[in-house]
Structure 1
Amino acid sequence: MVEDVRPCKAHEGRLSAAEPGLWQQVVEQLGTAVAVTDPAGRITAVNPAAERLLGRTAAVVHGKDIHDLCHRDPTGARVPREHCPLLRALAEGRPARGDDDRFLRGDGWLVPVSWSASPLTDGDVFQGMAVLFAETTTGHDTRRERAERTERTKRTEQAERAARTNALEGLTERLTLVAAITGVLGQTLEVDEALARLGRLLVPRLADWAAVDLRVGPDQVHRVAVTGPEGRVADQEDWHGHLPPAGNASPSPLARVLNGGDPVLQGPADMGAPLDSPLAAVHSAFLAATGATSALTVPLGAGRQVTGALTLVRTDPARPFGTGDLEMVSDIGRRVGPLIDNARRFGRQRAVAEAMQRNLLSPLPRHGRVQLAARYQPAPAGSQVGGDWYDAFTLRDGALALVIGDVVGHDLTAAAGMAQLHGVLRSLAWDHTGPTGAVVDRLDNALHAITTVPMATLVLARLEGPDNGPWTLHWTSAGHPPPLLLTPDGNAQYLEAGQGLLLGAHTDGTEQRPSAAHALPPGSTLLLYTDGLFEIPGGDLDTGLGRLRRHALALAHEPLDTLCDRLSARMPPGSTDDIALLALRLPVP
């Protein structure tokens, strides 16, 4: 019979070393691990050797089922309870042993052990089992094996983490590229600018060369963009221009894609395939000139809506395109195709609208020795033509009328409104010799009755004086930027008098618009303009007007046409408005 092994409360779960007798002298100091269980297999006590071997403190294991806590098979899986010899011995109250089992440590490692279990009784009452167990290898080998296993596991985990990180970074980079291309190309409706941006995003980030071919007719293909390493042209040849017809029967990669086929991935072996058409020969020559070792050709668009084809080239044999690249570039092609198609459609519509608007602007008259010049420039990108306009005509009394105006809106409706104002104002001003403000008042009163214009700004001016001077300018401004006068003595001033409300402001008509007058010296230059010449969205108007004044003054000595060209070319960056500019220069006696 085993003596009383109940632990003291201070060391619950551990065989007490504070009690005298056999346990203090033997069990506590025993190098072999010992655990005591109750009849149900729950641990009631362990000695320090067991704590060390199991990697768990006595307090942690106390009350735990020894089989569920520790017993595992060589793979680390739980051993079914019905197959556990220790549980069978507990159930039958008999001794048992095992020579090739695995116990699970607290740090997760499996310990190979041999064990021996003996019943504990008090008289005829079965009290549980005393289990002695030991590692089946020496402590030195076990530590070495654990260290090796730990190191192997660390290396494996590090490799898995690196692989997951690389995969995540690659996916993130691909998604970022696709999103960047879609976002950047969506910001412009200019085809050339869209293709230039596409090339800058793809080369060298994804490819060494990129080429874009667009359909320009039923059987016509045009290579519109080629992007390569900075400062380099493929084989010093210009690859832009019309390409041979695609041909429906040709199996060459470019012809297949242009005819609605699937994307194509080419390796070195594929590039040596026989050439079956002039288009295949031109494309093969391009790949050879760039030094291609791998190439992708994907449709721009999808299904029957194929706008063209995108070809990407890599020249490094160690970095060929793969199926993942093909999928990503195909996605780019599906997104880019509609954007380019929209830009081309917008460009055609805008060209028609711009031609219509230019035709609505009257040619400038000849008025003695006075020089006249005008420019109309549509917004640089993203906007349609609008209601900016200018006009100059000789009045019945021989004076010269000058007009600059801006109808609210940036569409064909604004352009049509501009044409209406143009005709009505000419009719009202032609035989009127009184103040310019009276003419603008009459125009304002008739605005909603005989035009579709909701609101507009304008300056109406009269230049009076004989051919050799002196000259006087009379003008009225309906909410429009002030005329700018450049004089031969190097001064530049805005004529800010004569300001009134813009057209369509719905006044009661009882108050007359102001008119102003200013003597113009010989050789002076007068500029009438719309706000697109100086205004930036969100910018300060005074800053914009100051910049225009400096630019105009720097160009005052230039011929009038040169002044207009250079001034309109200095459109502020970020401008989204049209420009109308009317310039007048007086002769020198």
Structure 2
Amino acid sequence: MARPEGTDGLEARPLETDAALSAALAAIGTGAYVVDERGRVVAVNAHAERLLARPAEDLLGHDAHDLLHRDRHGQPLPASRCRMRQAFHAGRTAQEQRDYFARGDGALLTVSWLVTPYGIDGSGLGTLVVFHLNDQQPEFYEPSEQAAAPLTELERLALLAQTTTQLASTLDAEEAVRRLISLVVPRLADWAIVDLITERDEVWRTAVVHAEDAGLVHHEDLQGPMPPVLDESPMPLSRALRGVASTVTGPETYRRAPDSGIAVEQSRLFEVTGIRSAAIVPLRSARAVLGALTLGRAQRPGDFTTADLPLLEDIASRAGLALDNARLYQRQRKVAETMQNHLLPQMPRVPGLRMIARYLPAPHASQVGGDWYDTFPLPDGSTALAIGDVVGHDLEAAAGMAQVRNMLRAYAWAQQESPSRIVERLDAAVTHLTDISMATMIFGRIEEAAEGHWELSWCNAGHPPPLLISRDGRVTYLTGGQGILLGVGEHSSRPDAVALLAPGSTLLLYTDGLIEEPGHSLDEGLNRLSRHAAALAHRPLPSFTDHLLDRVRPAGNDDDVALLALRPG
């Protein structure tokens, strides 16, 4: 089953699979494995190991065609005669009622199989193979060419496996809805409607999608707020939104006198879309009813029957779990983000010194982290500067950030010692008084010197070095004052460093989310930062920081970013 194009010289090796993929295969009640774009097995379930008499280690990383596919005499099957390989190369769904696999003990296994394209999270597109024992006469068809044909048991299993892995791999509710629709349209229906119940118990028609010319068309004019659900309404959508039952219905149900505003909207939906047969199932989690999924057939042959409902309910239960997880995640993220933003300080006014700070929460799937900054006046007239990152990406990290910041303020104000001594005191407190595992930080103090210059003294506890940009665009990383991270348990003395900031120069303190990028070295990130900072040196400070974030922050960044910029003059 291997694709020969572009694979010369590449070593075949097993690929690690994620938890969602493994769980999806484990849930399939027959043999199943997934191959990557080169036809190598990347995941296999226990049923396949048993049927093939091969442990997973004998399958993973191997070309499935060479290892398994045989003719009826048990001889290796030429690639040109392999229907599975043809479907694999074409990237389409296909099935065969009678074929032959080689077992690990040398026996020949007669099987029925189905293959379908399958997304491997983080690794691109692969192919799912589902098979079971079958001694029936050959009967071959391709579901993609017979869209009206009912799903076979193998196709049902494959669809449920795809639903599990695709919905489990996102924590974004809108993306979960998009994936759900792409799984069922046009495979099961030519219309899909998703109604969700908001956290304020309002119903919102989130998606109305139609399969048209091999694409999906969104009808935004049919989306939006819906009337409330009546507790006593017997209408199918109202019952589904209360989590009462799944129903097969049609436009005739809504031609009677409507009992509610939601029935009026549903009647209009049938009229506008031309749906003649629909199946409506609740979307629910273990905790609550989240909404309803309506699948409709207008041009597609065949009407829904009650026999279709168990499959649709299985799909809806997986969707409900994904939506519930997304909502819980977004709620926690919002709490953490709000907490983070309230804890981060306002910039003090310091005559002769312009200061600006930026904090960007982590995008996409990762949670809010412990990145922070601070600046505050000291009793001797100097100004304290700090930036840091508490290890972790959750509410604990945000709370830890608050602990570190508050202890730092107390020590810096009360002790009035050098930055290194303040950091040493903070390190001891972090180790003994908090649950923080580790943290990085730069703490410094800045005060006016002669002729418009400002003197910076600082201590660095395992943090990326500050960047100093002159007025004419020369850049220097301030690598002095380096020491180990906070919280590692070694309380040796730490060094201080001193630098002079000329009028018009810019000092930049930042966290590692600005420069770190998967697959790239830290030096590459530092070079990228210095190059763009030099090009932006002439800009006003607010413009400098905003453009720097836009240009330097990696597109694939999955971490918070805190940034503090200062400019004398």
Q: Please indicate the TM-score interval, normalised by the length of the shorter structure.
A: 0.5 to 0.7
The amino acid of 1:429's aligned partner reads A
Partner of 2:505: 524
Q: What is the aligned counterpart of 2:563 among 559, 577, 581?
A: 581
Counterpart CA distance in 1 for 2:508 and 2:377 is: 18
Displacement of 1:434 after TM fit? 5.2
**Bigger shift: residues 429-438 or 381-390:** 429-438
Q: Deviations over 1:442-466 (max 9, x none)?
A: 2223332343333211011222225
Match for residue 472 of structure 2? 489
SS of the aligned residue for 1:212 comes to strand
- Quick one: distance in 1 between partners of 2:231 and 2:194? 20
Distance 1:250 1:168, change over 3 A: closer
Aligned equivalents of 2:386 and 2:353: distance in 1? 16
Output one character per residue of 1:521-559: Cα deviation in whole Å (capped at 9) or x when no partner. Answer: 322222212122222356432233333344444544444
Does structure 1 residue 344 correspond to structure 2 residue 327? Answer: yes
2:244 aligns with: 261
Whether 2:193 is the aligned partner of 1:211: answer yes
Q: Which amino acid aligns with 1:287?
A: F
Deviation of 1:322 (Å): 5.2
In structure 2, the residue matched to 1:420 is 403
| Residue correspondence of structure 1 range 527-566 to structure 2 within 5 A | 527-537=508-518, 539-566=520-547
Q: Any conservation in 2 of the 1:260–1:304 contact (CA below 8 Å)?
A: no
Corresponding residue of 1:356: 339
2 CA distance for matches of 1:559 and 1:173? 61
1:377 aligns with 2:360: yes
Displacement after TM superposition at 1:582 (Å): 1.7
**Partner in structure 2 of residue 126 of structure 1:** none
1:195 counterpart letter in structure 2: V
Q: Is the 8 A contact 1:260 1:302 kept in 2?
A: no
Q: Structure 1, residues 301-360: CA drift from partner, whole Å, max 9, x if none?
A: 268832111123343153654556543322110111122112212222322232122222
Mapped pair 1:239 → 2:223: yes
SS at match of 1:457: strand
Residue 391 of structure 2 corresponds to residue 408 of structure 1: yes
Counterpart of 2:423? 440
Deviations 1:409-438 (A, max 9, x none): 223332222222112211222366654222
SS of structure 2 residue aligned to 1:237: helix
1:180 aligns with 2:162: yes
In structure 1, stretches of 5+ residues that fail to align are: 1-155
State the SS of the aligned residue for 2:472: coil
For normalisation by structure 2, the TM-score amounts to: 0.67
Q: Match for 1:368 among 351, 358, 365?
A: 351
Using a 3 Å threshold, how does the CA distance of structure 1 residues 217 and 451 change in structure 2: closer, same or farther?
closer
**SS of residue matched to 1:446:** helix
For residues 231 and 169 of structure 1, what CA distance do their matches in structure 2 show?
Answer: 21
Match runs of 1:126-205 below 5 Å: 160-162=139-141, 170-205=152-187
| 8 A contact 1:209–1:313 mirrored in 2 | yes
Any conservation in 1 of the 2:281–2:292 contact (CA below 8 Å)? Answer: yes
1:341 partner SS: helix
Deviation at 1:272, TM superposition (A): 4.0
d(CA) in 2 for partners of 1:555, 1:210:
49
Partner of 1:288: helix, strand, or coil?
helix
- Rounded to whole Å, the distance in 2 between the matches of 1:446 and 1:349 is 28
Q: Which of these residues, 530, 534, 554, is aligned with residue 572 of structure 1?
A: 554
Alignment check: 8 A CA contact 1:295 1:311 kept: yes
Partners of 1:303 and 1:495 lie apart in 2 by: 54
Q: Are 1:396 and 2:363 counterparts?
A: no
Q: Distance between the aligned counterparts of 1:251 and 1:361, measured in 2?
A: 52
Residues 175 and 488 of structure 1, relative CA distance in 2, 3 Å threshold: farther
Partner of 1:105: none
* Contact preservation (8 Å) 1:369, 1:467: no
CA change 1:317–1:202 in 2 (3 A) is closer
TM-score normalised by the chain length of structure 1: 0.65
Judged with a 3 Å threshold, the aligned counterparts in structure 2 of structure 1 residues 546 and 226 are, in CA distance, closer, same or farther, namely farther
- Specify the code of the residue in structure 2 equivalent to 1:419: A
Structure 1 pair 558/188, CA: closer, same or farther in 2 (3 Å)? farther
Note if contact 2:190-2:300 (Cα within 8 Å) is conserved in structure 1.
Answer: no
Aligned to 2:301: 318
Change beyond 3 A, Cα 1:319–1:374: farther
Q: Sequence identity of aligned pairs in percent?
A: 48
Distance 2:537 2:193 in 1: 45
When the two structures are aligned, how many residues end up with a matched partner?
A: 427
Post-superposition Cα deviations, 1:183-226, rounded to whole Å, max 9, x if no partner, equal: 22222223233223333444445444433222235853222344
Given that 2:243 and 2:284 are in contact with CA atoms closer than 8 Å, whether structure 1 keeps it comes out as: no
Determine the C-alpha separation between the residues in 2 that align with 1:480 and 1:163: 58
* Counterpart AA for 1:585: R
Letter in 2 for 1:581: L
Quick one: structure 1 residues 291 and 586, their matched pair in 2 at CA, closer, same or farther if it must change by over 3 Å? farther
Query: 1:243 Cα shift?
Result: 1.3
The code of the aligned residue for 1:532 comes to: G
Q: Is the 8 A contact 1:464 1:473 kept in 2?
A: yes
**What is the identity, as a one-letter code, of the residue corresponding to 2:526?**
L
Inter-partner Cα distance in structure 2 for 1:400 and 1:406: 21
Structure 2 unaligned blocks of 5 or more: 1-135
Deviation at 1:393, TM superposition (A): 0.9
Alignment match of 1:472 (pick from 434, 449, 455): 455
Give CA-to-partner distance per residue, 1:208-265, whole Å, 9 cap, x none: 443322223585322234444568553x62512x311111222222101111232223
Aligned residue type for 2:515: F
**Helix, strand or coil: the match of 2:294?**
strand
* C-alpha spacing 1:176/1:448, structure 2 compared with 1 (3 Å): same
Distance 1:389 1:369 in 2: 24
Aligned partner of 2:232 in structure 1 is 249
Structure label with greater radius of gyration: 1
Mapped to 2, the partners of 1:337 and 1:468 lie a distance apart of 66
Contact (CA 8 Å) 1:298, 1:329: kept in 2 or not?
Answer: yes
- Aligned counterparts of 1:413 and 1:188: Cα–Cα separation in 2: 22
Where 2:452 maps in the other structure, the secondary structure is coil
Deviations 1:87-122 (A, max 9, x none): xxxxxxxxxxxxxxxxxxxxxxxxxxxxxxxxxxxx
The AA in structure 1 aligned to 2:372 is W
